[in-house]
Amino acid sequence: MLQGDVLMADKEMKFHKILVGVDDSHDAQLAFYYAVRYAAENDADLYIVSVLESDEMNVYQAFDDDYVHGERSQLEEHILNFKQQALDSGVKNVNTLIAEGDAGKTIVKEVIPRVKPDLLMIGSFDKPGISRRFGSQAAYMSKYAPCSVLVVR
């Protein structure tokens, strides 16, 4: 009887709305690949998010509206390329979002409440030096996201 219950649960355990975080890292692109494949095979909605991280800019760049606008424009163009790849791979409903701030906190506190995904797919890569000792964005999202999280390495 338990085995039948488990099989029944498996049939009902599909993710319908997937949020994937993208950037230029190998692991994020691998997470994108898995998200696209799952969404195409299961007719799930795909939401692609990229975060413009202001902490990567120096103080002069952060106050330069032209610089920030240029960075955002490049990110918008980049995320549209991801969208086209997803559409070309058979995903029927693809949405894109660009957020600003700390990637982990912004995705957990702003993007997830807005999108309400069933699953967050993210890449995780180790950073050298002091960043490694304080944890990663993936660890933060895995701990605090109010939905299932798949971390791809």
CA atoms within 13 Å, Cβ hemisphere of 90: 9
Written out in words, the top-level CATH class of the domain with range 19-81+94-152 is alpha beta
CB 49 within 8 A of CB 21: yes
Residues of the chain with pLDDT > 90, as a percent, come to 61
Tell me the pLDDT of the chain averaged across its residues: 82
CB 131 within 8 A of CB 143: no
Say which amino acid occupies 78.
Answer: H
pTM, to two decimals? 0.80
- Name the more confident of 64 and 128: 128
Q: Can you tell me the mean pLDDT for 131-153?
A: 83
**In the chain, where are the structural domains located?**
19-81+94-152
